[in-house]
Chain A
Amino acid sequence: MRAQAGDLEMRGAFAAEPHGGGGRSAGSDAGWGAGAGHEWVRPAEPVGRLEGEWLEVAMGPHHPSTHGVFRMNVALEGERIRKLKPVFGYLHRNHEKIAEGTTYLGSMPYTDRLDYFCSLTNNWAYALAVETLAGLGVPERAEYLRVITGELTRLLNHACLVGFLLHDMGTMGTPLMYAFREREKILDLFEALTGARMMCNYLRFGGCRVDVPAGWLAGAQRVVDEFPRFLDEFENLLTTNEIVLARSQGVGVLSGALAVNAGITGPMLRASGVNYDLRKVDRYGIYDRFNFRVPLGEHGDVYDRYMVRILEMRESVKILAQALKDLPPGPILDPKSKLRGFRPRAGEAYGRIEAPKGELGFYLISDGSVRPYRYRVRPPSLINLTVLEELCLGHTVADAVIVLGSVDIVLGEVDR
């Protein structure tokens, strides 16, 4: 229902401009595409060679390039995009309200379903918020396990994203399948450790649920050792490919100033040249112990976003190698933490981490009961999506597809 209302509003907004404020109300604007009282007036300044009426196209929600159920309502002049309105909410599952009605622990499996590619970093952000709220410590070994699983998640997410992005550019499947081959190895590790490939539900407040099984660390080491080879292969495949360069360079340019003003975080912000990585800035967990660099882009176009992710994977491999080497023995759960009857003292807390897609934060207010009084997610996917129109204006429809691909969204997190 919400999507419908937004849709009508958007029609009104599109219709309003040529008519100078007329047809703003949703009800009077029933002639979508039918021509009744709905006529596009040519824009004042001639744009391009093609002179004609604007065409409104709803890309999605059932469109293979939208990475889920997401709709872009675009107004086209020829093939150029003149207006773009993202419409979301198709996958809304009431996550935040459900969390206010269930215990703190009960929300943990639901956080897996936010960004379903990166359940372990979602768990981490939520656990961090609750630990801040309840004043729980995390044992050394658990911190290391969090870093290991978190960075493996980053590898998995970026590999898939790059595969999807190139798939959007028209490399029909090959890089995506190569990426999924690597992802499968990491998912096998997750399954051996947590019991599930994607819905891991692994972290607990004050530590982790189980310790690593026998032979797991060796397996992780093997995956980490082999990953740079995959990256080399991947870069050989497409980094200097002429078609990729022609398609992605100079497309969807996001300036650093706009990125900062719009609250963009994650690889998308760094691709615009802003040096901001929560692992360096916030130093949550034990990230200050690892030696790694933050790759930065220069132009903020689609190609930079692709490249920043490739370089970030290389840095993640470095972090993983260090973490696997230094993993200390010891307990994995704070003895003060408890599963049932967990009541943090009244107060509020915000926990944030550098998730693969950007700053993922959980804001919690506790009233001292077993349930949070308020539970709010700061989803990087949604906030990174807000500049989509600025990135796409003036480009073609095919470019909008790859710009959306380079933003890296998962609709489970956008709509929550």
Chain B
Amino acid sequence: MKHTPGWGLLKGLFETARNFVGSYYQPGRLTTIEYPDERLPVQENFRNFPMLIYDGADPERGLRCVGCKICEKECPPQCIYIVLERDRSGKVQKRPRLFDIDVSVCMSCQICVEVCPFDAIKMNTEYELSTGDRFGALLLRKAELAKPNEYYRRLHPTEAAEVDARLAAAAQAKAAAQAKEQAKLTAKPAKPAWSTQP
């Protein structure tokens, strides 16, 4: 191609002018938004930091987590800390007394969510977590991590519908199994406890 000196320069300048003028008319060319005043909608699959899901109204009682510590073990940067509840006699209960996630260490990889067999830990999408407190404010405790299932449904509707269907099916199967057991028991009642006494 015959090259006229300066032509390449002019072509480039024309392109910038086209972009400059175009940004007034074509929304595709305007990519910035005024952040605190307007926000982009959060994508459904977006993940930020983990949260714990509870059913019902009581975050203590309805917590799905049974404290199996699988997520604690599998977490690559080891940011989860779990201590199990014990009753008065010192027997280990199936729920966590402490469940801390250090979100300053967490790298949002979602592996805890994938390995959890109880659908108890899911990813939150909250991203405005900056704080002036250097020590402790980014260590989320169980009370801050616990979120109702409705909240999860609102964040990830498709995923939550899947999980709810799976849990409902499991609950139904369990109820059916229990009913069967019950029916067996009523058909052939066990020996009453008092009869074993002398």
Contacts and interface: CB of A to CB of B under 8 A. Distances in A.
A236 B76 contact: no
A240 B11 contact: yes
Contacts of A107: 76
Contacts of B19: 178, 233
Interface stretch (B41-49, B55-63, B190-198): B41-49
A195 B76 contact: no
Interface in A223-248: 233, 236-245
B158 to A, nearest CB: 7
A102 B12 CA distance: 51
Contacts of A275: none
A237 B16 contact: yes
Nearest to A181: B31
A201 B109 contact: yes
Interface centre among A178, A194, A209, A236 (most CB of B within 10 A): A236
A308 B130 CA distance: 43
Interface residues of A, number: 37
A192 B42 CA distance: 9
Contact of B45 (A192, A199, A237): A192
B15 interface: yes
A201 B77 CA distance: 14
A105 interface: yes
A210 B7 CA distance: 49
Interface in B1-54: 3, 5-9, 11-12, 14-16, 19, 29, 31, 43-47
Nearest to A240: B8
A199 B12 contact: no
A191 B109 contact: no
Given A241-B9, A241-B12, A102 B76 contact: yes
B31 A233 contact: no
Interface string B71-82: 000101000000
B76 A110 contact: yes
A236 B109 contact: no
B155 to A, nearest CB: 12
Contacts of B47: 195-196
Nearest to A201: B109
A105 B114 CA distance: 11
Contacts of A196: 46-47, 108
B15 A236 contact: yes
Contacts of B9: 241-243
A390 interface: no
A174 B110 CA distance: 36
B74 A340 contact: yes
B74 A237 contact: no
Nearest to A244: B8
A339 interface: yes
Contacts of B11: 236-237, 240-241
A237 B12 contact: yes
Contact of B8 (A102, A209, A210, A245): A245
Given A102-B76, A106-B76, A240 B7 contact: yes
Residues of B in contact with A, size category: 20 to 34
A103 interface: yes
Contact of A174 (B7, B16, B74, B108): B16
Contacts of A110: 76
A68 interface: no
A242 B74 contact: no
B105 interface: no
Interface in A120-178: 174, 178
Interface in A272-316: none
A109 interface: yes
B111 interface: yes
B123 interface: yes
A324 B35 CA distance: 34
B183 interface: no
A110 B46 CA distance: 19
A181 B5 CA distance: 30
A240 B3 contact: yes
A209 B109 CA distance: 12
Interface in A177-191: 178, 181, 184, 188, 191
A238 B14 CA distance: 11
Nearest to B3: A240
Given A181-B31, A196-B47, A236 B70 contact: no
Contact of A191 (B8, B46, B107, B115): B46
A283 B16 CA distance: 40
A303 to B, nearest CB: 13
Contacts of A199: 107-109
A239 B107 CA distance: 40
A174 B13 CA distance: 11
A213 interface: yes
B12 A238 contact: yes
B107 A109 contact: yes
Given A109-B76, A109-B109, 7 more contacts: A105-B74, A191-B45, A194-B45, A201-B111, A237-B12, A239-B8, A339-B111
Q: Which 3 residue pairs across A and B have the least CB separation, nearest first?
A: A240-B8, A109-B109, A106-B76
Interface of B: 3, 5-9, 11-12, 14-16, 19, 29, 31, 43-47, 70, 74, 76, 107-111, 114-115, 123, 158
14 contacts: A106-B74, A106-B111, A109-B109, A195-B45, A195-B47, A199-B107, A199-B109, A201-B111, A236-B15, A237-B11, A240-B11, A241-B11, A340-B70, A340-B74
